[in-house]
Amino acid sequence: MFNKFIASILPYFPKKFVWLFSKRYVSGETLEDAVKSSKELHVKGSGATIDLLGEFITELPEAETNKNVYAEIVERFGKEENLNVTFSIKPTSFGLLLDEELCYNYIREIIVKAQESNRLVQIDMEDSPCVDKELVLYKRLHAEFPKNVGLAIQAYLKRSDADVEMLSKMHTPETPVVIRLCKGIYQEPENIAFKKHDQINQKYLENLETFFKYGVYVGIATHDKFLVNGAYELIKKYDLKPEQYEFQMLYGVTPELRASIIKKGNNMRVYVPYGTDWFGYCTRRLKENPKMAGMIIKAIFIRG
């Protein structure tokens, strides 16, 4: 109850107060902030995936604006050839729920531009009403750009076993499937999503093993030490080389665990969000996952 209460009132706090905890998890408001953060991560042995904050637009002109900004992002990082950078996009910020065909065309434009510098565009998976639409979107784009588009899958959804099997069977050396596997953050009803921590972890490792069986390149997106250790065991079981998978983490989260994974010789990629919508991003995440509220209050007092 305390966490839900804090999550409900925090959006009404002054922005300066919310920034106290947000600044650790957001690289900044500008593209150059994201470039700077990516360079700092590079020095520490990590790649990055760039995310422009903003989702669930209400008007189509916003979709065109987001498309143009992403074109600038791709162009800017094209000048940083030494950086291992991909781009993460949320289809709802390109009008997925307003005009699916327009959304497809806008994202296709971004992928065409990313292809010029041989970079990947990763499609984030959003809440359950978007899942089927985003799978259709991915399959259309994958048919034309198999090496330049990836997709996120959420292990806590009960449908994910079937989706994982379907995506795995799409994978071939000529048409590779690239996946970010995460637990899932959206608040979904119990009839479509697992709720218990142990259940979600079990499904995560089952999904990861299925992908490994088929040779799919997976971004193992987790901060859970249990899942990291489980991934290590599967990597050993399937005798995978570091270039056949990577670990992924959020910006500012569990940096010590991140460093230990890199130290063991694994590839790492950090999700680097930036943009003026950082306030909306952080408060929305609190509503989706109220447990974060207690962690935030603790971080403010412990870290000052």
Specify which residues 50 forms β-bridges with.
87, 272
Which of 51, 119, 124, 163 does the annotation list as catalytic? 124
180 is catalytic: yes
Specify which residues 88 forms β-bridges with.
51, 122
**253 φ, ψ (degrees, to nearest 5):** -105, 135
Question: What would the 3-class secondary structure string for 142-181 be?
Answer: HHHCCCCEEEEEECCECCHHHHHHHHHHHCCCCCCCEEEE
Structure tokens at 233: 């065991």
124 is catalytic: yes
Residues 45 and 244 sit within 8 Å (Cβ to Cβ): no
DSSP, res 125 = P
234-238, long-range: CB within 8 Å, 24+ apart, which pairs?
Answer: 234/205, 234/208, 234/209, 237/212, 238/212, 238/213
Residues 47 and 268 sit within 8 Å (Cβ to Cβ): yes
Which of 51, 108, 163, 180 does the annotation list as catalytic? 180
Answer left, alpha or beta for residue 57, where phi above 0 means left and psi between -120 and 50 means alpha.
Answer: beta
Buried b or exposed e, range 188-226, using 16+ CB within 10 angstroms:
beeeebbeeeeebbebbbebbbbbbeeebbbbbbbebee
Residues taking part in catalysis: 124, 180
